[in-house]
Each structure stands twice: as structure tokens, then as C-alpha cells.
Chain A
Amino acid sequence: MTALAAVWRVGRVIPLGWYRSLRGAHPVRVLRWLRNGVVAAVAATALLNLLVAIEARREITAARRTSQAISDIGKASTAAGNAQAALADAFQNEDVTLIGTGTAFANDTAQVNTDVTSAAEGNAAGAEGRTQIQFVQGQLTTCIQLAETAVHDYDSLGLAADSAALQALTASDARDNITHADITDTGGLIAARRDLRHLQQTALNAQRGSRWLDPTYFWPLLLGPVIGMLLLVVATAYLLARYFRRFVSRLLVSALLITAAVSVTVASFSMRDDHQLSADPWAGLPATTAIALVLLAAAAALGYLAYRPRLIEYRFQPS
């Protein structure tokens, strides 16, 4: 017998055996299984709701930090541009031998340093991001040192003394000869800052596309147990009608509706939170979580009680 045939046989035997034992089981026993299934479905809903709320909150918090880092890098870019203008202005219009690089240049470079340090706190690009932030800070230090050297050389070199410092600020990235794309981290301070912003933006996009913030992932995850519960309720209704000549209990329908309502509400909240990168995600609020858990506990109780009358009627010792 080939391995494939063996797998085929096992694959057929297991569901077949399960189906035979189901057919052979007493309806009350099947009813008990259905009750357990309904309670498990409600419990799974509670667990997944909690998981989605916690993970989404974590991802949103991280994404908000990254978003703030990108904003800081943007501010640093503006300050670097101002520093460039301030340095050029100091050499053109002021006596650098007396005032050095000037207050405006000092303030702008200090601002760049502050913004990059703030951005480092929200780095979402891991080790690559840390290295790149370090590179940008190094570029800044180089610019400042070159500007100071330019002041030192001003007497002998004149206006041209600041060319190396300006070059360190404004040099553009090298280009790939084949793709003609910019090669990151190969230019001056302003280009390095642009590269850093691009890296963090890519990381932010990845965070926003993570499964806990992706509706195509969390909607099926939250509605899966509800659909499972619906199938169990339909099976219960069929069993009750066929073997007990009864309608399905209103308690069971209520349990299903409550479970579905909680799942849909949490999923909707998550969608809204993710879209807005909300500071206080509704899905993760303690009140939302508490209400959802209370409702789901009630649904589990209702589901359990819905089966009780039939199971009591036919109580017998388990074989």
C-alpha cells in the first residue's frame, strides 16, 4: 500500500467513524455535545475579542509613536534647511571671525539634534532604524565640526571656507547606475534625514498593515466563532424539531444574538480605531472590555440554560 493510499484511507476512516458514532448516539447525548459547543463558541468569542482588543491597542500605540517620530524627522528636516541657510548667510553677510557660525545656525542644529533624539524614541525600524538614526546624528556632528573649521579657515580661505560644511549638509544621495534610484545613506545631512523618514514611513506602513489592524484578518477572526455558534444553533433546532417536537429556545437565540452583537461591535470599534490611529482605542477601553465580557458571560449562561429543560427530562447516568 502506498503512503498516499494510507493517508486517503485514514482521512476517510476518521470522519466516517465520527459520523457513525454521531448517528448511533442518543439524541440527548448529541444535545449535550451541542450545548458544550455553544458554550465553547461563546468562550472563544470572548477570548478572541480580548486578544484583538489588546493586540490592536499595542499596535496602535506603536504606530502612533512611529507617526510622531516621522513628524519629528519632518521638523528636523526643516531645521536642517534653516541651518543651511543660516550658515550661508553668516558667511555672506556677517563677520564670522567675530560671531562664529552665528546664533541662528547654533539654534537650528540644536533643534535638529532634539528632533532626531525624539524621533529615536519612536523608531519602528528596529536595528536598521537605530543605525540610521545614529548615522544622521553623526552627519549632524560632522556638519557642525566642518562649520567650525570653516570659521577657523575664514581668514585664509574667505567665503569658500564654508563649502565643505554646506556640502556635508546638502549633498544628494548617489544613484544606482542601473535602476537610477537613489542609494540611501550616501548623501549629506538633509538627504540622510529624508532616507530616515522614508525608512520610518515604510515601518509605519508595515505596522498599519499588521494583521491586528487589518479588517480582512480580524473580522473573520471575530465572526468565526459566531458563525460556528450559528451552525450549532441550527443543528440544535433540527434535533429538537425531529426528536423532541419542540422549537429552539428563545434563550439560545438570545445568546446567539448577544454574541454576534458583541463581535460586530468590537470589530467595528477596531476598524474605527485603526483608521484613526486613535489615542484611546474604543475597542481596548476597559469599559468596552468589561461590558463585552459581561454580555458574553450572560450569553454563555443563556446558552447553557436553553438546553437545560430537555436535558433534565432525559437525565440518565453516563455510560
Chain B
Amino acid sequence: MRASLARAACCAATLGLLAAAAGCGSGPQADSVTIMVPWSGTEFSTFYQGVIKPFEDKSGIHVDVEVTRAQDLQLNAAVAAGNPPDLAVLPSVGEVDQYANEKVLRQLGIDPDAYAKPFRGLMMVKGKVYAVPVKADVKSLIWYDPNFMHGAPTTLRALAALSARKSTHWCLGLASGPTSGWPGADWIADILLVKLGAGGFRAWLTGKLPWTAPQVMDAWTTWKSLVRDSLPRASLIDFGSAAAGIAASPPACSLAHGALSAMDFPSHLSEGKNYDYVAFSPGSPLQVSADFVGLFAAHNPSATVLLTYLSGKGAQTAWVNAVGSDAFSADNGVQPADYPKGIRRNIAKLLRQNSGHTLCFSAADTMKPDLSAAFYQAVMDYANGSRSLTQIGQGLDTIQKAVGSSPVPAAEICTP
């Protein structure tokens, strides 16, 4: 009886093994990471070819890059649906704060001291690191054609004098899809920074100085007077392609304002020869910005691997040296000497703490997302003449009261 039972058990085990052998053996799934980025054109291709492709080749991890100009909108929708990408580039500190407070951003084990100020302080929410700056920029720059002028005017007084003669000098494009208006917002913030200094800039962003304050209103009107003849068509011109007017024959314009990444200079132009830059209003603080990467994935180790790679010195150096790159690094380990010689190396020096400039983080990127969106739309309305400045100021004050002022502590907005 016992022998029969043993045989039956043996038979059952064999059949079970047979079935298990038939059923098992599905291969492991390939590792992949999704990252949402707001970059397009050259900005995207240098990131993809110079940073992502080498990562894929080296690690074997597939990276699915989602490109959208409506980053804020799409990321919000994805987070609300409970299905965010593994990683996302967050151009605004307001977004970092929002997602960290909603507890959808994961805390990171990255040392903030490895990054330059003011970016260092912006990585953190309530003392914990939630985002890493992977791409930095200097916004307070004026671009000009050296063939037409020997050095651009840099002070507001000189610029005003130039504009009084002919304000079509400015290559101005405000169109940028859902974030249209931001080039004007940067301009206005720069003027405000020159006129009020870092203290006034902080007061404005923290809500102590309202939008309807005469000093703030004055920045808007100063901007309009500088670019008045370029303004009517600016809403229709893409921000990047506006700068190409410098190279047109005959030149459509000769001056442009903004970061290098916002100047889509045609590739046949050579820096220093066809275009050069000066810092806006020497002695005044400079506006800088950064694109931060935040981690949303809870259970994808490959996402952490990619984040660590993107924030490391190797990837940062590769990025700034990629063909056609306009990226700058906030990583202390990437020195100006690591950049290609010329304009980019000189701009990189401005980002160093010993550059002699006070660096203030981009005004709109420091605001709450709803307020910065309203600021951009207000610039469009102001440019199109569809709303008066008083209406705009009152509207922005109302929104600021509703959503709150900048989540960034005043001390972190500007650092000497």
C-alpha cells in the first residue's frame, strides 16, 4: 500500500514538473526608463545624441524620451492620472515645490553641495533634496552682430537712447506654444532687477512688492518703450527663430535678449564673428535658470541609474561638449575649462560663484506654476494691446493672492 502511494506521488510530481516546464521560461523584460523633457530642436538633439544615446549604449537601458512644450500641463495631467513618467525635467522651482508637497516626487540621496549657488538651495524643499539641476543658463545677456556695432549698449540708459532712434533693432519673438510670452517675462524681470537690485527683486517675488506697485509697472513700460516697434509682430514670431534676423540679408534686427539656448542662431554663423554677447547692465545681478530633473518612479531602479548618470560630472561634461550644444552645467565639478573655447566658456564663467555677479534665479521659474503661466499670458496681452497695464497688474495681484507667492525662501532667490 505504501509502495503504491509512493509511486502515485512520484507520478503526480512528474506530471506537475512536466506542466511547470511547459509553462515557465518567459524571458525577462528589457529595462526601460521614461523621461519627459520640454526641449525641442537643437536643444533636444544635443541632449539625445550627446547624453542619452551614450547612456543607452553603455547601460543597455532603453530611454523613452517624451518631448512636450506643454510640460507643466502634461506632467500635471499624468500625475493626476497616477501615471507620471519615471523622470521629468522641471524647469520651474514652483513645480518642484508643488510635486514634493504632493508627495509624488521621490526624495534623492544627492549631495546639494556639489552644485553652485543659487541652484543648490533650489534643489531642496523643507531641507530635503527632491530635484537635481542638469542644465543651467544665464538669461541676462544681450546678443549683437559685431559687424554692425562694436560692442552692444548694455545699460538701460544706452539702450533707451538707441531705441529712441530706432527700436526695430530688437529681434523679438514671444511665441513658444503654451508658454508663449516667457521671453518678455524674462526681459521685464531683468529690467526690474537692474532698477531695484536683488533686494527689490526678492521683495517682488515674495509678494512684498505687488504687481501694481509703480516700480513694477515701470519695468513693463520701460520694456515696451525699448522694443515698441518690434512688439506688434513679436507674438507671431517663434522665440528661437527671432534671433536669426541678425543673419538675414539685409539684417532684420541687430540685438537680441536672452539665454544662448533661446537664440537659434543658424549653424552657418560663427560665434564671435557673426554674433557675440555682453552681460545685461554690468554690475547688476544676472538672472540665471536651470532645468531640474525629478524622480517620480517608485519601483524602477533604472530611473535612479539614469538620474545618477545625468547629474554626474561625466554626463554633464559630455552634454556641454556635445556638437551644437548650448547647455551649461551647475555642477561644481564642471569647470569653465571643460567647455569649448569662446563664447560658451566665457558664459560658463558667469555661473561661477567668484564671477563677481550676484546671481538671481529666473523670476517666472521661481513663481508658483499658475502665477508664472498668468505672467506669460499677461506679457502676450500687453504685447498685443488686448489689456491695459493696470488690468494686468490687478489681475496678477489677484492670482498671486490666490495661489501664493514664490515657494523659494527669499535668501535662496539671489546669491552673491
Task: Please give the residue numbers on chain A whose beta carbons come within 8 Å of chain B beta carbons, in ascending order.
Answer: 36, 40, 43-44, 47-48, 51, 55, 126, 128, 130-132, 134-135, 137-139, 141-142, 145-146, 149, 153, 155-157, 160, 163-164, 167-168, 174, 176-178, 183-187, 211, 221, 318
Contacts and interface: CB of A to CB of B under 8 A. Distances in A.
B236 A160 contact: yes
B375 to A, nearest CB: 15
Interface of B is mostly: mixed
Contacts of A126: 29
Given A131-B83, A146-B177, A153-B380, A47 B15 contact: yes
Contacts of A167: 177
Contacts of B6: none
16 contacts: A43-B11, A48-B18, A135-B85, A139-B74, A141-B77, A142-B69, A153-B386, A156-B385, A157-B235, A157-B384, A164-B180, A174-B40, A174-B44, A176-B48, A178-B49, A187-B67
Interface residues of B toward A: which range?
Answer: 35 or more
Given A145-B73, A157-B384, A48 B22 contact: yes
A145 B70 contact: yes
A142 to B, nearest CB: 4
A196 to B, nearest CB: 12
Nearest to B48: A183
B147 interface: no
B113 interface: no
A131 B64 contact: yes
Interface of B: 3, 7, 11, 14-15, 18-19, 22-23, 25, 29, 32, 34, 36, 40, 44-45, 48-49, 53, 64-70, 73-75, 77-78, 81, 83-85, 175, 177-178, 180, 235-236, 380, 384-386
B302 to A, nearest CB: 11
Contacts of A211: 25
B296 to A, nearest CB: 10
Nearest to B299: A127
A193 B68 CA distance: 14
Contacts, number: 123
Contacts of A221: 22
Given A128-B64, A134-B83, A40 B235 contact: no
A145 B49 CA distance: 31
B66 A55 contact: no
A168 B83 contact: no
Contacts of B25: 211
Contacts of B23: 51, 55
Contacts of B15: 40, 43-44, 47
B235 A318 contact: no
Contacts of B40: 174, 186
B260 to A, nearest CB: 20
B85 A131 contact: yes
Contacts of A185: 64-67
Contacts of B81: 134, 137
A210 B177 CA distance: 44
B11 A40 contact: yes
Contact of A48 (B19, B45, B48, B235): B19
Contacts of B75: 138
Given A131-B66, A131-B85, A177-B49, 10 more contacts: A40-B11, A47-B15, A47-B19, A131-B64, A134-B77, A135-B36, A138-B78, A139-B68, A185-B64, A186-B67
A156 B381 CA distance: 9
Contacts of B48: 174, 176, 183
A104 to B, nearest CB: 23
Given A126-B29, A134-B77, A51 B19 contact: yes
Closest 4 CB pairs of A and B: A138-B74, A156-B384, A142-B70, A186-B67
A186 B7 contact: no
Contacts of A178: 49, 53
A142 B44 CA distance: 20
Contacts of A160: 236
Contacts of B380: 153
A135 B236 contact: no
Contacts of B178: 142, 145-146, 149, 164, 168
A167 B69 CA distance: 11
Nearest to A210: B26
Contacts of B85: 131, 135
A48 B17 CA distance: 11
B22 to A, nearest CB: 6
A47 B18 contact: yes
B18 A137 contact: no
B73 A142 contact: yes
A318 B78 CA distance: 72
A141 B74 contact: yes
